[in-house]
A and B are shown apart, each in its own frame.
Chain A
Amino acid sequence: NAGVTQTPKFQVLKTGQSMTLQCAQDMNHNSMYWYRQDPGMGLRLIYYSASEGTTDKGEVPNGYNVSRLNKREFSLRLESAAPSQTSVYFCASSGSGRAGEQYFGPGTRLTVT
């Protein structure tokens, strides 16, 4: 039982390049989330998916797109990376257990130069 996995662990992009961050969970959870974490800003929700087939914007969605590929997988895409998107990105999932309880992946450290 791996929990929530994320790939890649590290990535360096040039401004304007695109990339997709991958997330998968093996806990049969319905809901999945993408956050970014910046120094002094805490964790901020980018997008979430309440269930397979649905996605919604969070607090900071601009510059990102998401795809809920199936129940297990939720990807985050940067179409044209900007230095302001330099951050640590976390994926999380939650199921039918305690309300609000989320399980986090190990994160992807992204640097945009």
Chain B
Amino acid sequence: QKEVEQDPGPLSVPEGAIVSLNCTYSNSAFQYFMWYRQYSRKGPELLMYTYSSGNKEDGRFTAQVDKSSKYISLFIRDSQPSDSATYLCAMSARSGAGSYQLTFGKGTKLSVIP
């Protein structure tokens, strides 16, 4: 079993829809959870960062972490064509070495249709 599982999609939704993206993980040591957005032919950019279980909201985006179920989600409200991108979940365990290795999901490709 891969440490991080993410449905690659593709996912196609109409403009204005609520989008739900999900990842599951198996390593209970993961404590830091991130969502990266990657536009076509660009580098990933950090979208959301969460440390503990619960919800974190930033504008139209909500990140949710359920450590008991080892499940994280990203919700996009009122989706826009500009949200069309690949969304990568990433997570890391606590490290005493000063750098934190990220484990990525494979990414979900989202298309928002006008």
> Chain A: residues with CB nearer than 8 A to chain B?
4, 30-31, 40-45, 48-51, 58, 90, 94, 98-107
From A41, A42, A45, A107, residue with most partner B Cβ within 10 Å: A42
Pairwise interchain contact A31-B44, C-beta atoms closer than 8 A: no
For residue A111, give the distance in angstroms from its CB to the closest CB of chain B: 14
| B43 proximity list for chain A (CB < 8 A) | 4, 90, 104-107
Q: List 15 A-B contacts (CB under 8 A).
A: A42-B88, A44-B104, A45-B101, A48-B99, A49-B99, A50-B97, A98-B49, A99-B32, A100-B90, A100-B91, A102-B102, A104-B36, A104-B43, A105-B43, A106-B43
| B51 proximity list for chain A (CB < 8 A) | 98-99
Pairwise interchain contact B104-A48, C-beta atoms closer than 8 A: no
- Alpha-carbon distance between A45 and B99 when the two chains are bound, in angstroms: 13
- B106 on the interface (CB 8 Å rule)? yes
Q: A40-B106, A41-B106, A99-B92 are in contact. Are A104 and B44 (CB under 8 A)?
A: yes
Beyond A41-B106, A42-B105, 20 additional contacts (C-beta under 8 Å) are A4-B43, A42-B104, A43-B102, A44-B104, A45-B102, A48-B99, A90-B43, A98-B49, A99-B51, A99-B92, A99-B94, A100-B32, A100-B90, A100-B100, A101-B34, A102-B102, A104-B36, A104-B43, A106-B42, A107-B42
Q: Could you say which of B41, B45, B102, B107 contacts A100, with CB atoms under 8 Å apart?
A: B102
Q: Could you say which of A99, A103, A107 contacts B46, with CB atoms under 8 Å apart?
A: A103
Total interface residues on B, CB under 8 Å, equals 30
- B10 on the interface (CB 8 Å rule)? no
Q: Find the A residue at minimum CB distance from B33.
A: A100
Q: Could you say which of A31, A103, A107 contacts B99, with CB atoms under 8 Å apart?
A: A31
- B98 on the interface (CB 8 Å rule)? yes
- Alpha-carbon distance between A37 and B111 when the two chains are bound, in angstroms: 20
| A107 proximity list for chain B (CB < 8 A) | 41-43
